[in-house]
Amino acid sequence: MLLNRRTLLAGTAAATLAPALITRPAQATGNLPLLQPLPPGAPDRRLFTPLEQRFAPYLAILAPMTNDIVDTDGPTYGFMAGGWWRTPAQPFNSRIQEHVFTLSWYYANRRPWNPYYRDPALLARLDAALQHYLNLQNPDGSWPEYAPGERGKASSGFGLGYLAKTLANLRQANALPTRRRQLEVALSKGVAWYLDPANTVVWDDPFQYTNQAVAGVAGSALSLTLLPDRAMWQRLQERIRYVARWSQSPAGFFYDPRGMDINYNFEVMLPEMAELHLLTKNPALVSMTRKFTDWFGYNLLREPDGSGWLTYYAVSDRTATAYYDDVVPDPDRTNLGSLFVPAVPELAAFFTTREDRAATRAAWAADPAPVPSLAKQNTSPRIIAHAPYGERLPSRGAKRAAIERIPYLRRDSFTELRRDEVENQDYLYIRRPGLYLGAFFGTRPGSVVKAGTGFLWHPQAGTIIHSQQTATGCWGTVRAGKADSDSNLIAEYKSKDLVHYRTPDNSVATELIVGRSHVTRRVSATSAATEQLPLVLQPGDEVTFSDGTTVPYNESRTATADALTIRRGPTMITITWTATRPASLSTSTRTYLRDQRRRIHVLRIPHGGHLETTVRTEG
């Protein structure tokens, strides 16, 4: 059930069952009592509602996390030590303190499985943590992350949201009135700093790290619902218009920092936008989501067996999220983004269906194993912070219909060039009846981005070639130890089927030719080089070099040959190259999707400087 803003701020209704009684712990060595650990066997999975199952692992670590708070007098009093969240785990890093929201939620909300409701030890340590958090705020309203006194875009933006939610919890519990007044002052200062158009830390030129800025605007919106300020609310609306104008590339992605990033766009940016839209109802956020969804559909590669998606992560600017399973159990960082599905039905393609999520939650509740504790650094307050907003996961039918509308699944012939002229980035997508190809040219926005040809997909066989974010695993030409993919490749588009591209120093030039069922790369290098193709192989594939050498799955072989064939069910993939020469196919540890059946094996073909390779599909 989706909670509206009034329901969220008023808090949830008390559960009918009283929390389990706990025994008071002995006095700690510092100034504050310790929080009693959960009794053996707790928590009971059966007591959690489906939407609140994600609270269970955090309940399991609440006592150790809370007891790590420094409770001895001195400058670090209240520091949430122990390294539970974010690095560096130093007292000056305000992001470490974001788990104050976590502590406040368990204190304020009565549940049959929550023995810490109104626990005085929890409240005392929360109060100490808030004291440290508020003391870290700079005079201008910002918070530091990587150095004392730093004015951080992320630490200030995400902090506003967590502190506002903490204030809402404390109001709900009618607790810590003095600290609440201090929180109100801190939030007012923080919002004024964050929304100031003259603030070049947040509103930089060119605009970077969109997810951080939108998180800050969302946190500001929540703060302003708690602390109404008409003038500041108007400024917030103006900042949303600014984000809508400058944060999104003409290609469709959100700048992070100035390129695309699968993970940050889908897992962080979109949920923050969903929260902001829930709080403001600004229609520009829906328009931005619609444009992003269209872009996303070109970059996620659907596996024909329905197991999930491989992503075009070789052009991700920050992270290496290479796949998404079709069914993702809790905790799922993307969950809140599903609030956009009713307004943007095409987005349904990328979310777990409500039926599948219900099944994974039922299985979790029935599992007799103890709820596992989370490891340090494997926690995030946003997992539970988003839970009260609910979700709008699609039905199986809605998801199936949305998948059918994905561009390369809906049409079998197009050439789509997405350009960002400001950043000099070209994203090329070519669909033909027997293949789908992606490539990137122009200025690489970051060092992990790999240019040139990036993936090759087949309607029945799925992903065949999938470029990695490494020089030893990208799809390209390696010369003198450097891949041409690590260059800002200069492209000339001769026709919808023919592209010429080269490195800036002309050490490697490539002619790319795309046919109905084949892709040919004609490479000219100024010295000896190696052609490299990262193949996605599955256990049932029959892989054979033209000299008869077979390559078992997850094994490596060398051969003297002029071709390699892969038979996958009814589909035959043939890779040929000019002249018989030594070649190798090497396995790797890189696997995809939860079943780990898809594994990268890299084909390498050394040559003297000139080579033509063709990948052809049949069936």
φ, ψ of residue 465 to 5 degrees: the values are -120, 135
Distances (CA, A) of 356 to 52, 359, 393, 401: 17, 5, 10, 16
Task: Give yes or no for a contact between 171 and 222, defined as CB atoms under 8 angstroms apart.
Answer: no
The reported pLDDT for the residue numbered 30 is 84
CATH level 3 topology of 418-618: Beta-galactosidase; Chain A, domain 5 (2.70.98)
The contacts of residue 340 (CB under 8 Å, 6+ apart) are 270, 273, 274, 277, 286, 289, 347, 392
- Beta bridge partner(s), residue 617: 573
The reported pLDDT for the residue numbered 31 is 92
Residue 366, classed as helix, strand or coil, is helix
Distances (CA, A) of 211 to 223, 254, 276, 289: 18, 8, 12, 13
Task: Give yes or no for a contact between 280 and 323, defined as CB atoms under 8 angstroms apart.
Answer: no
In the chain, what are the domain boundaries? 418-618
Can you say whether the dihedral through the CA atoms of 410, 414, 420, 423 is positive or negative? positive
Which H or E element spans position 187?
Answer: helix 177-195
Distance CA 249, CA 96 (A): 32
Single out the residue of 204, 178, 177, 199 nearest to residue 189, CA to CA. 199
Residues 108, 109, 110: CA angle, nearest 5 degrees = 125
Distance CA 248, CA 422 (A): 12
- Beta bridge partner(s), residue 309: 302, 324
Structure tokens at 586: 């090497």
Q: Is 46 exposed, middle or buried (0-12, 13-18, 19+ CB in 10 A)?
A: exposed
Q: Are strands 529-537 and 476-479 parallel, antiparallel or unpaired?
A: antiparallel
Distance CA 607, CA 478 (A): 10
The contacts of residue 491 (CB under 8 Å, 6+ apart) are 426, 428, 441, 442, 499, 500, 501
The contacts of residue 569 (CB under 8 Å, 6+ apart) are 460, 461, 540, 619
Distance CA 137, CA 186 (A): 8
Neighbours of 2 (CB within 10 A): 12
- Which of the 8 DSSP states describes residue 132? H
Distance CA 92, CA 80 (A): 11
Residue 548, classed as helix, strand or coil, is coil
Task: Give yes or no for a contact between 446 and 317, defined as CB atoms under 8 angstroms apart.
Answer: yes
Structure tokens at 559: 């051969």
Structure tokens at 196: 């100031």
Q: Which amino acid is at 304?
A: P
Single out the residue of 470, 207, 424 nearest to residue 316, CA to CA. 470
User: Consecutive 10-residue runs of the chain (619 residues): their mean pLDDT?
Assistant: 34 32 46 96 96 98 98 97 95 98 98 98 98 98 98 98 98 98 98 98 97 98 98 98 98 97 98 98 98 98 98 97 98 97 98 98 98 95 96 98 98 98 98 98 97 98 98 97 97 97 98 98 98 98 98 98 98 98 98 98 98 97
